[in-house]
């Protein structure tokens, strides 16, 4: 009859989760860095917009925030297209 050691099982699960997160970060290093960049730029833009006093600066920062959102969306779409094209090329060149 086997005994269940919950403390040991928890540590194994935690180590497995950490390994999975590490592998995902290694595999998707560039998209994670790009997402972090856009998040920081967007947060800085929103923070600066709240701090400025003049309507001209507020308008300029609003435009910058919208461009950041648009560029982030286009970057995500372009990344998806590149992945799709790579998958199609792998499919076409794989031996059948």
Tell me the pLDDT tens digit for each residue of 1-22: 556 555 555 555 556 778 888 8
Task: Tell me the C-alpha distance between 72 and 20, whole Å.
Answer: 26
Residue with tokens 């609003």: 62
- 65, 52 in Cβ contact below 8 A? no
Tell me the pLDDT tens digit for each residue of 37-92: 999 999 999 999 999 999 999 999 999 999 999 999 999 999 999 999 999 999 99
With a CB cutoff of 8 Å and minimum separation 6, the contacts of 46 are 65
């Amino acid at each position: 009859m086997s005994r269940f050691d919950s403390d040991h099982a928890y540590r194994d699960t935690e180590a497995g989760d950490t390994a999975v997160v590490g592998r995902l970060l290694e595999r998707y290093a560039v998209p994670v860095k790009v997402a972090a960049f856009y998040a920081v730029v967007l947060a800085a833009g929103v923070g600066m917009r709240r701090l400025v006093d003049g309507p001209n600066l507020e308008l300029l920062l609003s435009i910058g925030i919208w461009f950041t959102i648009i560029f982030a969306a286009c970057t995500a779409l372009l990344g998806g297209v590149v992945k799709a094209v790579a998958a199609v090329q792998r499919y076409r060149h794989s031996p059948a």
